[in-house]
Structure 1
Amino acid sequence: MPDGLDVRGISIPESDLDWRFTGSGGPGGQHANTSNTAAELRLNVRTCDAIPDRIKERILRRLSHRMTNAGELITTGSEHRSQTRNREEARKRMAELLDEGIKPPPKRRKPTRPSRASKRRRVENKRRRGQLKADRGRDWGA
């Protein structure tokens, strides 16, 4: 099992990750009823010293809807029968979530003006639609 979490060049040590294990539903019969196989992984972004402050701010801003009031990100893994595989699943989800929060925002679109031809096509289409609708209201052959 890997130590810590590596996301976009940032290494978060295992000591900053908080694991909790509970019983998991689903397949497994008696094994599932007696074993704590579901894995919950928590990372307190506010207190994690491995994350630079500017990256922390970006994560807190972009993932605020996924955090607790204390600033914790929480992921779970409970699809598998084994605790080890559920831990891997929770670790993978946390890495994906942090990757989403860390990556820089997309470049802003530079506004452009519509071309003369596109304006002409738009107006022509409007004229055609208007004519079609005006023709509907005309004399019904009476």
Structure 2
Amino acid sequence: MLEISNTVTLADWEIELTGIRATGNGGQRVNKVETAIHLRFDINRSSLPAIYKQRLLKLSDSRISQDGIIIIKAQSFRTQSMNKDDALQRLKALILSAMQVKKVRRATTPTKASKRRRLDAKKRVSANKALRGKVL
């Protein structure tokens, strides 16, 4: 069972974990031991609240397929159990990131003092560059 928040949890049957062989360096061990984890989570079939499902499906994340299935491959660690924990934590982070509401940015005008500081700095740089010219 994966706990997303105080009220939202995912049952074990909702998350499909498969052991696969990891890619990359490692030689003989990598070629015969299935330590990497392939996690599949179907958003539409899950028991998540409707708002979670909507926001997850709206995300433009490469890990979410067109069918609404989240696919995560974890192969950073040497043991299957650590890769399993890593995949579950990444799934939890993805779901939580979908629920964060971004703060709306309000455009503001610069203050008089900040305009004056900017112009003074430009004048200083201009005067410094004027000194680099040819001596008459």
Provide the TM-score with structure 1 as the length reference: 0.75
- Aligned partner of 2:117 in structure 1 is 121
Measure, in 2, the Cα distance between the counterparts of 1:41 and 1:74: 6
- Aligned partner of 1:88 in structure 2 is 85
- Aligned partner of 2:34 in structure 1 is 36
> Which of these residues, 1, 12, 28, is aligned with residue 14 of structure 1?
12
Q: CA deviation at 1:132?
A: 2.9
- Aligned partner of 2:57 in structure 1 is 60
The residue type paired with residue 131 of structure 1 is A
Residues 28 and 81 in structure 1, CA contact (< 8 A), matched pair in contact too: no
Per-residue Cα deviation, 1:70-95 (whole angstroms, up to 9, x for no partner) = 22212222233432232222112211
Residues 63 and 72 in structure 2, CA contact (< 8 A), matched pair in contact too: no
> Which of these residues, 93, 106, 109, is aligned with residue 105 of structure 2?
109
**Unaligned segments of structure 1, at least 5 residues:** none
Q: CA deviation at 1:41?
A: 0.7
Q: Secondary structure at the match of 1:69?
A: coil
The residue type paired with residue 33 of structure 2 is S
Measure, in 1, the Cα distance between the counterparts of 2:79 and 2:123: 66
Q: Compute the RMSD of aligned alpha carbons.
A: 2.5
Q: Secondary structure at the match of 2:62?
A: helix
Per-residue Cα deviation, 1:11-31 (whole angstroms, up to 9, x for no partner) = 12222212222123555955x
The residue type paired with residue 65 of structure 2 is T
Measure, in 2, the Cα distance between the counterparts of 1:127 and 1:81: 60
> Which of these residues, 64, 75, 78, is aligned with residue 78 of structure 1?
75
**Unaligned segments of structure 2, at least 5 residues:** none
Q: Secondary structure at the match of 1:120?
A: helix
Residues 39 and 78 in structure 1, CA contact (< 8 A), matched pair in contact too: yes
> Which of these residues, 41, 47, 64, is aligned with residue 50 of structure 1?
47
For the structure 1 residues 136 and 6, does the alpha-carbon distance in structure 2 shift closer, same or farther, using more than 3 Å as the test?
same
Residues 27 and 81 in structure 1, CA contact (< 8 A), matched pair in contact too: no
Q: CA deviation at 1:102?
A: 2.2
Per-residue Cα deviation, 1:5-61 (whole angstroms, up to 9, x for no partner) = 22133212222212222123555955x44332211111122x134222222222222
Give me the identity figure in percent: 27
- Aligned partner of 1:140 in structure 2 is 135
